[in-house]
Amino acid sequence: MRNIANVTLIGSAIKSTLRHTTKGFPVLDVTVAGNAPSGDGEKTKAFYQQVQVLGKYAETLAPILTNGVAVAVFGQLSFQSWEKDGKRQSAIRITADSFVLLEGQHETIADAKGQERLMNGSNRATILGNLTRDAELRYTPNGNAVTRFSVAVNRRSGEREEVGYYDIVAWGELAEQSAQLKKGMPVLVEAAITNDNWTDREGNRRFATRFDAASIQALRRPAGAERDEDTTETAKTQNVPVPEPSFDDLSGADLPF
């Protein structure tokens, strides 16, 4: 069973910067913004997602992605970890496979910085992997059910295997339904991508990405199934650094974890 960590975004390209790594490899950093349904679909939330475009494709798109242009992005999630000041840190990156410009006029809304977010956007990840621990059900002070667990996604690129870890949060009825999921079980998750930031007790700015589930399906792995090789060129093989996060959303304050 081949693991999956894919992304679909529809929004406005509000910022794009073309740069090159120390080895001269071109990278286009794009911020895509819009309003999209939350994981449970009960409300609309603003999103700002950073996307990287790699190689010659980055150079082709750089002059086209003017600020405010409406786009659809199809890409992949990748998990990166490193050590800084003696502490292990990690980040989740979106790498674009395809950037499509949308035709016609599209309604936008200006944020506090004057950036035009696309209305009726899409912010959705599809994750297929295995639970790294038992799902944990808790209740917020307001009595809302919340279940949280992590999904590991394994991918192969040549002889190298890469593992990504993605934190899933489910609310309400979906939280109670998924509370029985156990470590090692394969699951298919559809979720909205949420970026959090906060200041820790030491005064350091911290960032994290979670996935607010819209649906969770427990799966049964076919007997004898093997993981397929993923031959996709990854940013890691090109030594592409993770850009410093710039999102402002902190919508997880009610989480009891």
> Residue 17 and residue 97: Cα distance in Å, rounded?
17
Residue-level pLDDT at 126? 97
Q: How confident is the model at residue 125 (pLDDT cuts 50, 70, 90)?
A: very high
- Give the per-residue pLDDT at 148: 96
pTM for the whole structure? 0.83
Report if residue 254 sits inside a domain: no
Please give the average per-residue pLDDT across 175-197, as a whole number.
94
Higher-confidence position of 162 and 192: 192
Question: Helix (H, G, I), strand (E, B), or coil: what is residue 148?
Answer: strand
Q: Which residue has the higher pLDDT, 42 or 224?
A: 42
Give the Cα separation of 150 and 167 in Å (integer).
4
- Is 16 a domain residue? yes
Domain range holding 109? 4-233
Total length of the chain: 257
- Sequence-distant (≥ 6) Cβ neighbours of residue 128 within 8 angstroms: 1, 2, 3, 4, 5, 153, 186, 187, 188, 189, 219
Residue 252 belongs to some domain of the structure: no
- 201-243 pLDDT tens trace: 888 777 889 999 999 999 987 655 554 444 344 444 444 544 4
* Least trusted range by pLDDT, from 9-13, 128-132, 251-255: 251-255
Is residue 256 situated within a structural domain? no
Cα four-point dihedral sign 139, 132, 3, 230: positive
Q: Is 26:20 a contact under the CB 8 Å cutoff?
A: yes
Give the percent of the chain with pLDDT over 90: 66
| pLDDT of 181 higher than 60 | yes
Separation between Cα atoms, residue 233 and residue 114, nearest integer Å? 36
In the predicted model, is pLDDT for residue 76 greater than 70? yes
CA dist list (Å): 168 to 27, 88, 120, 191, 210:
29, 21, 24, 8, 6
Q: Report the distance separating Cα 81 and Cα 165, nearest Å.
A: 10
Residue 222: inside a domain: yes
CA distance 77 to 152: 12
Q: Which residue has the higher pLDDT, 160 or 112?
A: 112
pLDDT at 103: 93
Does any domain span residue 247?
no
Residue 198 has pLDDT above 70, yes or no: yes
Up-side HSE of residue 108: CA atoms within 13 Å toward CB? Answer: 22
**Domain assignment present for 218:** yes
Count of domains for the chain: 1
Mean pLDDT of the chain: 85
Farthest CA pair distance, the chain: 54
Q: Phi, psi at residue 6, to the nearest 5°?
A: -110, 160
Look at residue 99 in the predicted model and tell me its pLDDT. 94
Q: Which of 6, 74, 67, 59 minimizes the C-alpha distance to 28? A: 59
Does the pLDDT at position 14 exceed 80? yes
Q: What is the DSSP string of 10-42?
A: EEEEEEEEEEE-TT--EEEEEEEEEEEE-TTSS
Look at residue 33 and tell me if it is in a domain. yes
- Residue 205's CATH number: 2.40.50.140
